Amino acid sequence: MKEFDLVFNVLHGTFGEDGSLQSILDFLGVRYTGSDAFSSMLCFDKLLAYRFLKDFVKIPNFVEVKEHIDSSPVGYPCVVKPRREGSSIGVFICESDEEFQRALKEDLPLYGSVIVQEYIPGREMTVSIIETEEGFKVLPILELRPKRRKFYDYIAKYTEGETEFLLPAPLKPEEEQRVKETALRAFTEAGCRGFGRVDGIFFNGEFFFLEINTVPGLTELSDLPASAKAAGIEFEELIDIIIKSAFLKGE
């Protein structure tokens, strides 16, 4: 491995995003794209990320639940979701004790621990960030509006025609600035590098943090490349920026 100049990490989920691959590459002394082992581990575990970032950005109220309980500790509606999962798998919006019990019955046997979180009825947005020689650049905000689903779930994400994409998101200048500042604060406080995507909910003039994706999709149709293109950055240039960012670490 040491004969390689760089590993371009496009592995999603466990091993590729949770700090495991990054730790191995650090041990081998091989450069790689994206965030380091600690930041990757932190962001992959939403509970750790919430506890770490709660003093820096607004986060919907959350509680860890490890066993079956009768009702939501944060009231209704609420969100039940795994600590470590992607693509909105295992995420439920619950409006009653019955729905809450059903969500726990689905998730607890699979994950052992879930996050129960206050539901924020706002606009779902994702903010892509890249690192250049001049510093971090926040790309145009993308708003995601599911047409038939309650939220941007697995079906809305991966079924053509299920979601309306607004790029840039229709926001007032001061709202856009607030969203971008919040996303960048979360990204930098978590120690993220290179490139990434910050997801959240815009409600009552505030951007509520939900998660950081440290290895976002990089197909030409993915969210980050779409936001880059809206900023005048073509796909080939984006890939070049990400590669160069790996050589900025430690400088």
Q: Which residue bears the tokens 């001061």?
A: 174
Peptide linkage before 60 cis (omega within 30 of 0): no
Nearest to 241 by CA among 165, 102, 130, 89: 130
Parse the chain into domains and list their residue ranges.
62-118, 121-245
Q: Which residues are annotated as a binding site for Mg(2+)?
A: 199, 211, 213
* DSSP secondary structure letters along 179-206: HHHHHHHHHHHTT--SEEEEEEEEETTE
pLDDT value of residue 30: 93
Peptide linkage before 77 cis (omega within 30 of 0): yes
Q: How far is CA 144 from the centre of its chain?
A: 14
State both tokens at 121.
Answer: 């009825």
| pTM of the entire predicted model | 0.93
pLDDT value of residue 155: 61
**Mean pLDDT, the chain cut into blocks of 10 residues (251 residues total):** 84 91 94 97 98 98 97 98 85 96 97 97 97 97 84 65 90 98 99 98 98 91 93 97 91 51
State both tokens at 238.
Answer: 């984006």
Provide the 3-class DSSP secondary structure of residue 108.
helix
Q: Which residue bears the tokens 């989920």?
A: 13
Q: Which residues are annotated as a binding site?
A: 199, 211, 213
Nearest to 222 by CA among 241, 204, 238, 206: 238
121-245 is classed in which CATH architecture?
A: 2-Layer Sandwich (3.30)
Let me know how long the chain is.
251
Q: How far is CA 166 from the centre of its chain?
A: 18
pLDDT value of residue 185: 99
State both tokens at 71.
Answer: 């009702």
Homologous superfamily, domain 62-118: ATP-grasp fold, A domain (3.30.1490.20)
Q: Which residue bears the tokens 């009653």?
A: 96
Q: Are 226 and 165 in contact (CB under 8 A)?
A: yes
Give the 3-state secondary structure of 112-179: CCEEEEECCCCEEEEEEEEEECCEEEECCCEEEEECCCCCCCHHHHHCCCCEEEECCCCCCHHHHHHH
